[in-house]
A = this chain, B = another copy of it.
Amino acid sequence: MATIVGTIMTSHVPAIGGAIAKGRQSDPYWKPFFDGYPPVRAWLDRVKPDVAVAFFQDHGLNFFLDKLPTFAVGAAPEYPNADEGWGIPTLKPVKGDPALSWHIINTLVADEFDITMCQQMQIDHALSLPLALLWPGGGDWPIRVVPITMNHVQHPLPSPKRSWKLGESVGRAVQSWDSDARVLVLGTGGLSHQLDGERAGFINKPFDLMCMDALVNDPQKLTRYSALDLVREAGAQGTELMAWIAARGATPGRVTKVHSNYHVPISNTAAGLLVLQNEDAALPKAA
């Protein structure tokens, strides 16, 4: 059966793509953010995942309000990237893993998740930029992905509790997948931020730090919030925390925190980073 090596939760904002393209990683503005990632890459070198199951929202690239899914699961052989309207450099397509996608789809539907099944899907900055942070330097991505998108565009949003359950079901699916693959769980988005309204620029550092702590030791605590609670506490777009909650739900057994980082601001966003290792998987120890 497949092994879940652990979980990476990270913020994503389009501006990261611009900073990478312009080589600004060491600028004073960007350094505290980019400095968070070398330890993650060291961990990845050690646990060597083959495929990532990634939870994130689609920011109006694949889906429009004509037909907007609550949860969508990609089952494509390849996922192209797009500029999304800003003319930022388009990154390489990432390879899919249709066998794992369909195994996850079959499990989710059996578990009464009413997903949208996508044999074609583009990826936006919510997946391409985390990949670029984890595997910088260009070249082909050394990982396959199964993208799972969550609606944070139009209310009603799914709840944190439903997001957690989605993650749990995906975690069970991966662990029952007949494969010797090593699987990384990825959740991207957040932390607190708000783009719209007179409260634009809202950030809630105490709430974010509480969440980052809870995600290690007591994640189900976060499922007591409603989607609107998250809007209030984490900002209108801070609901993306649900991608972290889903990723944590997918992470089985005992976990240890490998690394974390938190820096405000990147663009309008409190940037968080959290890496958890699955202690129940047989993984190489740190040197």
Contacts and interface: CB of A to CB of B under 8 A. Distances in A.
Interface in A94-114: 105-106, 109-110, 112-114
A249 to B, nearest CB: 14
A69 B112 contact: no
9 contacts: A62-B67, A67-B67, A69-B115, A70-B113, A112-B158, A112-B159, A112-B161, A114-B162, A117-B154
- Give the number of times this chain occurs in the complex, counting copies: 2
Interface string A56-72: 00000011011111111
Contact of A118 (B66, B105, B166): B66
A110 B158 CA distance: 8
Interface residues of chain A: helix, strand, loop or mixed (majority): loop
A133 B119 CA distance: 36
B114 A115 contact: yes
Q: Assign chain A's interface to a size class.
A: 20 to 34
| Pairs of residues from A and B, 3 with the lowest C-beta to C-beta distance, nearest first | A109-B156, A66-B120, A70-B114
A177 to B, nearest CB: 15
Contacts of A114: 69-71, 113-115, 158, 162, 166
Given A67-B67, A67-B116, 13 more contacts: A66-B118, A68-B117, A68-B118, A70-B114, A71-B114, A106-B156, A109-B157, A110-B156, A112-B158, A112-B161, A112-B162, A114-B114, A114-B166
A66 B72 CA distance: 11
Contacts of A70: 109, 113-117
A116 B162 contact: no
